[in-house]
Structure 1
């Protein structure tokens, strides 16, 4: 590996200055050697309890994820960089208009992986060019426990909702990290400042928290609308409301948000306003890809996205587009058809549902969709 004779304190000052110049709101250093074993123990407990749901990649990388030195034993320091994506207003305001789809704040702008990765690489390359050493750059997709690392670096602390909370940015921070073989001086860690507050736990629409700092993803609307590959379970569909990608409730109620600023990075500021559900339900695969190119939504794929839209349509009441629901019961994608059948049962009159079932059910071959039709008949 490249060697270095540089002054570690100077190297740190240069790296932090470069990070700020690159648009990061925070840049602080953690010592991986002092990373507590309790973080790995909590991860093991969550995996053992099945709280990761269908995210098999979490269980598959647990050995490298438990500790930063398990990922890269040569690392001497981790520069944690954070970028604020604070919204202009409370994102829960979008939940009032049931006829429009609400996107999580982080999905309204460009994909933060793309925005941050290149900038982190630039900071890392300049660090090596000036001071030597070796580096590895990570943004979310690698087996790195970035939130505990960010807490160790003093960027913030992990709140009871398991996300990072900052005194300067509330709950609205994207994280990335630069591992280096340079022995950069570490910053002091940040203490947990949640106190007795439990607003984030109490506001959860699906009671997804087993307790403070314990999230069961299988009950979380963010997981169910983004990560879960299967149909959204019936018991959570009403709670979804008009959320079509993610859920911000536990983040939005955090009292530390009163210190948060609006995102300074224009690409993350979020230009996607809530759109009519009927408009979104009409997207075919090509139109979906065009509309959400370069955003986090694109990775969901058209089928699961429109599935979410149709569940939201079923919750829209008088704002629901009845013709759209009927049309989507004949959609080419099974999950869209299944969600549309459920929406029909929620919005259409009983005689309309019976007539529609008589037309669609005899020709249906997908077991999941058949189960939705039969549930309507049984009800």
Structure 2
């Protein structure tokens, strides 16, 4: 399956990025894909109470509307995050808004939370596959003044339909959204979210990679104070490394893929130092190999998510990362992912 899927990914790269995205979703929704083989038992892990067959998940953004959960569930992900979804449907920013920086193995997007809205999203989650751990990434409508109310609406409408929720306050493409990462606004948002929770599903907070260490410490403290179950570190970046070669490097929006790797790892390291093991962390950003995933786990991540690398490596990347992680765990004397989480390379096993 992976060889066919990887050939399909190569063909899609010949098309306009947004057209390729839509075709990929339709293909995953309609193609009768065979189920992936069972995961190596050594990869099973627990993330904030979620029993995951592996720590390798799909990041939000690929399946914004929950249309392709059956197909995505057969690609071998340990968990699948769909969205971002906003209470009301919105078309997002003007096109073109998605750019493939092939020379840099990167993507720039300024999609702007284009999605079908909560009602359509909820209807699809009601028909979701039961054997896939599914997360719902929540956003706020562009023209909503009280953005915290939009996250509350998402938590309430999707209660019982998703296995976990992610409060996404770190997209750079919705005006005012990243301002919610300030302490006063964050306390208001997280306090209201805590009141709106009525089920067992954990709630995560997704943060930007462009935060200072002090800002990350503050966010960790706020998350702990309001009972947030974990952090997803991190979203796309507004930075533009001097190393970028593509002609699209100057486009506005969030940069993801290989150039985000070091920045996302640094943000994860700061979050792990601040959390001191009290808050599970999910790493995302620039992960394109088993070595990348292993580095995040050793830096403090309980699980990882991929997305942009799939565009360049194809769906076979999922199985490749899992094989690599299983081999590294055994080679270095670990019996579980949790045993390796946050362990320095020079730290002796006990």
TM-score where L is the length of structure 2: 0.26
Which structure carries more strand by proportion?
Answer: 2
Larger Rg: 1
TM-score where L is the length of structure 1: 0.25
